[in-house]
Amino acid sequence: MKNIYEDLDTSSWKSGWEPGAPVFTGYENEVLAIEQKYPARNIAPADVPVSGTVPATVFYGASNFRMWKNLDRDMAQFGAQNHGFGGATDVLLVHYADRLLFPYAPDVAVIQSGSNDYAGLKGKPARQAAANLELKIRMYGYFLEHLPDTRFVLLSPLLMPGAPYFTETSLLVAEGMEKLCEELPRLTFAGVSDLTFDGTAYRTDLFKSDGIHLNRDGQLALRERITEVLYGVFKNIGG
């Protein structure tokens, strides 16, 4: 894999977390299971009203995708495949892209990451957000280069009652991601911050007891938001 981290400022990264450090391999069994469940280049299309026959959508991200056991069924109209694994970070999404993303060449990839990245960053929210956004810019550029025909839907970080100390960082990252989607082609921003936080209170009813992972009601609420965005993306593809 080419070094997309060259000249990256890693001064905000804790030792062992920064790009270039040895990659955590504890999710290897999950990665293997995804490869076995969804053989690459063997993705059945699905019918969706807005554009007829629609190729697959790959959902690529961390534990809130991994724990969404009904995602394939919930998003069947978009030919969904759930490639979420472990507590994925952006560094791990880049690391496993050669296995879990690029070989599938989906028409749409929905990317989800968030607080797992901030756990490895030092400093105040503005510094954390700036470091994470610099990595995201390189990551999405790398994805766009390797998948020239794929559209990407970028989910903003979830705001979680179990990790309120990450809320300010997440909001700054979401703001930067939205701007990035305006600047780069084939990127669509899907803001979900207001889904779980109204600026004052968190929607604890959408989370499991840990306040980090969505419960079934939370998954269905996220499905509604993502579905609205995906219909628009596929309409543009078919249009």
| Measured CA angle at 59 (ends 56, 60), to 5 deg | 130
Q: Report angle CA 154, 156, 162 to the nearest 5 degrees.
A: 140
Give the whole-angstrom CA distance, residue 234 versus residue 131.
32
- At residue 235, the pLDDT reads 87
Tell me which residue of 117, 121, 28, 106 sits closest to 60, measured CA to CA: 106
Domain assignment present for residue 1? The answer is: no
Q: Which of 64, 151, 152 is nearest to 115 (CA)?
A: 64
Domain that holds residue 180: 47-238
Q: Is residue 78 part of a domain?
A: yes
Among 119, 115, 190, smallest CA distance to 151 is for: 190
CB 202 within 8 A of CB 159: yes
pTM beyond 0.75: yes
CATH, residue 155: 3.40.50.1110
Is residue 158, in this structure, part of any structural domain at all? Answer: yes
For residue range 17-53, list pLDDT tens digits in order: 889 888 888 999 999 999 999 988 655 445 444 444 4
Burial class (CB in 10 A: 0-12, 13-18, 19+), 72: middle
Distance CA 190, CA 26 (A): 29
Assess if residue 6 is contained within a domain: no
pLDDT < 50 regions, the chain: 44-45, 47-55
Count of structural domains within the chain? 1
* Distance, CA of 153 to CA of 110 (rounded, Å): 5
